[in-house]
């Protein structure tokens, strides 16, 4: 999203969180263009590392600044581009089938769009692989947190730690589990959504052959008889046939 400097500068020195509520670090610097639009943001993480991020990785939600991971933006971009590429190929196939475009034009456009579709699919598959790796990491993190949660409960039950220490520690573990589950759920949903965006090419498409209706033309100088004339001619022929004498030859 586009962020104006006057609106963004109030977050300098403030903590920034991701969409799952985890605190990542603090905003320590901004870069704006001549139009006072923020283009880059410098984030200081708790471990002392610094990261320069494009402003599109931040959004304002209920007055709070939220950090968007690169995969979140990339998945939206790929999904939108894939959906459009598939619709264009389907429209192209339909136009060719209806005989609206010539074969040469169809082949040229089909080749171009199929190349773009393949490139998008490769990007999609690469992103899905990265997302699956992140899901595996989160599964390991969840198992680890569940193990320590069990350990805390055991230590409280045996009196090794007091009630106050237990509450402080268990709340942190439970919060971590909730955020890990939320991220894992969103990742899996994104993987399914991207996987469904696919295009299966139909069998060989042939343009429809439109029937040609022949035109019947009456030559110059010829006229078709009217109904009245036709009936008169038929009646005259019949009368002539009935009035014709019968020749009888007598053989002696």
pLDDT of the residue at 211: 57
CA-to-CA distance for 89 and 114, rounded, in angstroms?
8
Output the average pLDDT for the chain: 84
- Give yes or no for residue 134 having a pLDDT over 90: yes
Beta strands in the chain (DSSP E): 15-18, 23-32, 38-45, 50-54, 58-61, 64-67
- Give yes or no for residue 233 having a pLDDT over 70: no
- Residue burial 42-69, b: 16+ Cβ < 10 Å; e: rest: bbbeeeeeeeebebebbeeeeeebbbbb
Interval 198-207 mean pLDDT: 64
- Give yes or no for residue 174 having a pLDDT over 50: yes
pLDDT tens, position by position, 65-99: 899 999 999 999 999 999 999 999 999 999 999 99
According to DSSP, the β-strands at 38-45 and 23-32 are antiparallel
Q: Which residue has the higher pLDDT, 141 or 221?
A: 141
Categorize the per-residue pLDDT at 252 as very low, low, confident or very high, splitting at 50, 70 and 90.
very low
Which of these, 106, 125, 124, 113, lies nearest to 86 by C-alpha position? 113
Q: What is the DSSP letter of 5?
A: H
Interval 115-143 mean pLDDT: 96
- Give yes or no for residue 26 having a pLDDT over 90: yes
Other CB atoms within 10 Å distance of the CB of residue 89: 19
- What are the strands of the beta sheet with 15-18, ordered from one edge? 50-54, 38-45, 23-32, 15-18, 64-67, 58-61
Interval 145-163 mean pLDDT: 95
pLDDT of the residue at 181: 95
Q: What is the DSSP letter of 52?
A: E
CA-to-CA distance for 241 and 247, rounded, in angstroms?
14
CA-to-CA distance for 73 and 13, rounded, in angstroms?
25
């Amino acid at each position: 999203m586009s962020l104006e400097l006057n609106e963004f500068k109030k977050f300098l020195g403030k903590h920034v969180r991701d969409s799952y509520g985890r605190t990542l670090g603090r905003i320590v610097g901004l870069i704006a263009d001549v139009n006072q639009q923020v283009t880059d943001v410098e984030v200081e993480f708790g471990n002392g590392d610094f990261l320069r991020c494009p402003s599109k990785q931040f959004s304002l939600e209920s007055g709070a600044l939220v950090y968007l991971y690169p995969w979140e933006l990339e998945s939206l971009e790929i999904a939108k581009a894939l959906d459009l590429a598939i619709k264009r190929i389907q429209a192209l196939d339909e136009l060719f089938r209806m005989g609206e475009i010539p074969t040469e034009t169809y082949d040229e456009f089909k080749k171009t769009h199929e190349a773009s579709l393949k490139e998008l699919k490769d990007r999609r598959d690469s992103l899905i692989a990265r997302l699956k790796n992140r899901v595996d990491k989160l599964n390991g993190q969840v198992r680890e947190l569940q193990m320590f949660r069990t350990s805390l409960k055991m230590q409280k039950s045996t009196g090794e730690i007091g009630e106050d220490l237990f509450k402080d520690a268990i709340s942190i573990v439970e919060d971590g589990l909730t955020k890990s589950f939320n991220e894992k759920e969103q990742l899996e949903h994104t993987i399914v959504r991207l996987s469904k965006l696919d295009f299966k090419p139909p069998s060989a498409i042939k343009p429809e052959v439109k029937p040609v209706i022949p035109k019947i033309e009456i030559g110059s100088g010829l006229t078709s008889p009217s109904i009245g004339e036709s009936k008169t001619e038929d009646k005259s022929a019949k009368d002539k046939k009935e009035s014709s004498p019968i020749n009888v030859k007598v053989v002696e």
